[in-house]
Amino acid sequence: MVLLYCGRVGRRRVFIKSPPLIRRAFFLPCLNDQSDLTVLTEHFFAPEDPLVLLSLLKKSVQLLLITPILSFNKAGSPWLFCIICRSDFAVVNFIYGETTMTMNVLGFAAQSSRDELAPYRFERRDPRPDDVVIEIRYCGVCHSDLHQVRNDWGGSTYPIVPGHEIIGRVVSVGPDVTRFRQGDHVGVGCMVDSCQQCTACQSGLEQYCEETPIYTYNSVDLRDHMHTFGGYSEKIVVSDKFVLKIPDGLDLKGAAPLLCAGITTWSPLSHWKIGKGSKVAVIGLGGLGHMALKLAKALGADVTLFTRTPDKAEDARRLGADNVVLSLDANRMAAVNGQFELIIDTVPHVHDLSPYMPALAISGTLVLVGYLGALEPMLNSVPLIMGRKSVAGSVIGGIAETQELLEFCGEHGITSDIEVIRIQDINEAYERMLKCDVKYRFVIDMASLKA
């Protein structure tokens, strides 16, 4: 999809989203300054008559720039074309298909980076043959939800409905679905699709899809080009390839954060083959850190927590830490030099990695799972070279790997430590999360949405 500047409607900018091939379209101009969405008229035009579209646009907007915005090709698939007017801009949108059927869903959304989350109705696609329709029962609250809502990383598209730690019940399945049936308890994590063709996808590493994975929210669907909306909502429609089975007996509320916090820490533990007798350290005790302690301990590793807060020692041991080291204590840091084959760094903000490098064993790895951005101060390469040590990164996990995690947690009775909240309290929960005032993950009871 190509975004082209087209013109203005009053103070509103107008953009064109253009797919490469269009055979036929329905034109629904919705450019009324008095309404967010007003359908004024409907027109049809043939592939050989693209000037009709430009003529219609001229009637609706004062074009400041006219460029070749459409490529008409009789071999192309049909598309649905409409203009949707927002508060400060209008988007000309193309949606795949002669007709695109949708279902209306209630959720909570932010309308801009400055707005609080509030009730919002939006459209989800009608199920495809390989889709699963899920009634959402619980949704975990991830720190990345807050970052996306406030556009801390850039690229957020509004309105945005967050949530990618989804636990629900299957309402219906498409005719091609064989792994799930109505009534099953299932999960949806951070992804809802990927290209399925690249080397990463073929290797079960959809999170590293070379075409970019389609995330559960703040992405655009590969097939119908609708925006994806997350789990702070009533229902979700997902391809069966990205739906996960929840083991019987696993607490549903506590299982929700496994779909992000859990898999984010499980993936490096699995990749670096941590098991009985391994020595692992975790930096930071929060949503990610508490899962890393539980999982590493269950795998049979000897586990150490690095923390700057002495008060966390008791909780760390309850969660599985065999040892707690205060990272500001030079003597205690020196006492663990050369010990760890893997250090999982869960800290979500910029920090100095240098104090932890001596703690790595020869050929050891420190893996970043919490922080996105430039390292400050710059890392000294001498400790890396002199001990064949590595600094790596890891993000969530593939679908097969996530199912493996869920089965492991079912066998060992592992869930997240959570605090259940109502959806109406989500904005307060965000503020508390910024203050680290939760042990260790908020989970929304989505039944509260009906209130």
Claim to verify: residue 84 and residue 143 sit in the same structural domain: no
Q: Is residue 342 part of a domain?
A: yes
Would you say residue 406 lies in a domain? no
Residue 96 confidence (pLDDT) above 50 = no
The CATH code of the domain that includes 294 is 3.40.50.720
Write down which residue in 77, 96, 115 finishes a domain.
96
Structure confidence at residue 101 (pLDDT)? 60
Single-letter residue type at 16: I
Residue 288 has pLDDT above 60, yes or no: yes
- Same domain, residue pair 87 and 42: yes
Q: Which among 96, 115, 139 is the end of a domain?
A: 96
pLDDT at 287 over 60: yes
Give Cα separations from 389 to 64, 338, 357, 361, 380 (angstroms). Answer: 57, 10, 8, 8, 12
Residue 158 sits in a domain whose CATH number is 3.90.180.10
> Which domain-ending residue is among 45, 68, 96?
96
Query: Is 238 contained in some domain?
Result: yes
In a domain, 27, yes or no: yes
* CA–CA distance, 43 with 211 (Å, rounded to integer): 35
Examine the domain organization and report whether 187 and 64 are in the same domain: no
Lowest mean pLDDT among 43-47, 155-159, 315-319, 404-408: 43-47
Decide if 402 is inside a domain.
no
Average pLDDT value for residue range 261-271: 98
Report how far residue 285's alpha carbon sits from residue 309's, in angstroms, rounded to the nearest whole number: 9
Higher pLDDT, 78 or 54: 54
Residue 412 placed within a domain:
no
Same domain, 57 and 121: no
- Interatomic CA distance for residues 255 and 415, integer angstroms: 5
pLDDT of residue 356: 97
Which of 134-138, 299-303, 374-378 is predicted with the least confidence, judged by mean pLDDT? 374-378
Please say if the pLDDT value at position 421 is more than 50.
yes
pLDDT, tens digit, 9 for 90 and up, residues 19-68: 333 322 333 333 333 333 233 223 333 333 444 444 444 444 433 333 33
| Residue 108 and residue 253 share a domain | yes
Answer yes or no: do 296 and 422 share one domain: no
Residues 220 and 106 in one domain: yes
Strands 25-28 and 43-45: antiparallel
What range does the domain containing 219 cover? 102-259+418-450
Closest C-alpha to 365, from 374, 355, 356: 356
pLDDT tens-digit readout, 347-367: 999 999 999 999 999 999 999
223-227, 400-404, 421-425 — which is least confidently predicted?
A: 223-227
Determine the average pLDDT of the residues in 165-181.
97
Residue 410 lies in a domain: no
The yes-or-no verdict on residue 165 having pLDDT over 90 is yes
The answer on pLDDT for 2 being more than 60 is no
Instruction: Note the pLDDT of residue 6.
Output: 41
The per-residue pLDDT for 79 is 34
269 and 252 both lie in a single domain = no
- Please tell me the predicted confidence (pLDDT) of residue 451: 82
CA–CA separation, 389 and 102 (whole Å): 52
Q: Are residues 108 and 222 in the same domain?
A: yes
Kindly report the three-state secondary structure assignment for every residue of the chain: CEEEEEEEECCEEEEEEECCCECCEEEECCCCCCCCCCCCCCEEECCCCCHHHHHHHHHHCEECCCCCCCCECCCCCCEEEEEEECCCEEEEEEEECCCCCEEEEEEEEECCCCCCCEEEEEEEECCCCCEEEEEEEEEEECHHHHHHHCCCCCCCCCCECCCCCEEEEEEEECCCCCCCCCCCEEEECCEEECCCCCHHHHCCCHHHCCCCCEECCCCECCCCCCECCCCCECEEEEEHHHCEECCCCCCHHHHHHHHCHHHHHHHHHHHCCCCCCCEEEEECCCHHHHHHHHHHHHCCCEEEEEECCHHHHHHHHHHCCCEEEECCCHHHHHCCCCCEEEEEECCCCCCCCHHHHHHEEEEEEEEECCCCCCCCCCCCCHHHHHHCCEEEECCCCCHHHHHHHHHHHHHHCCCCCEEEEEHHHHHHHHHHHHCCCCCCEEEEEHHHHHC
pLDDT in tens, 227-258: 999 999 999 999 999 999 999 999 999 999 99
Q: Say which range, 52-66, 198-212, 427-441, has the weakest mean pLDDT.
A: 52-66
Mean pLDDT in the chain? 83
- Percent of the chain topping pLDDT 70: 78
Domains contained in the chain, number:
3
Under 8 Å between Cβ of 274 and 299: yes
**What is the CA angle 37-40-44, rounded to 5?**
115
Indicate the pTM of the whole model.
Answer: 0.78
What's the pLDDT at 224?
87
Band (pLDDT 50/70/90 cuts) for residue 388 is: very high
Minimal CA–CA distance to 152: which of 437, 404, 434?
A: 434
In a domain, 308, yes or no: yes
In this structure, the answer to whether residues 59 and 135 fall within a common structural domain is no
Domain co-membership, 116 together with 255? yes
Q: Do 110 and 186 belong together in one domain?
A: yes
pLDDT beyond 80 at 189: yes
Q: What integer pLDDT is reported at residue 415 of this predicted model?
A: 98
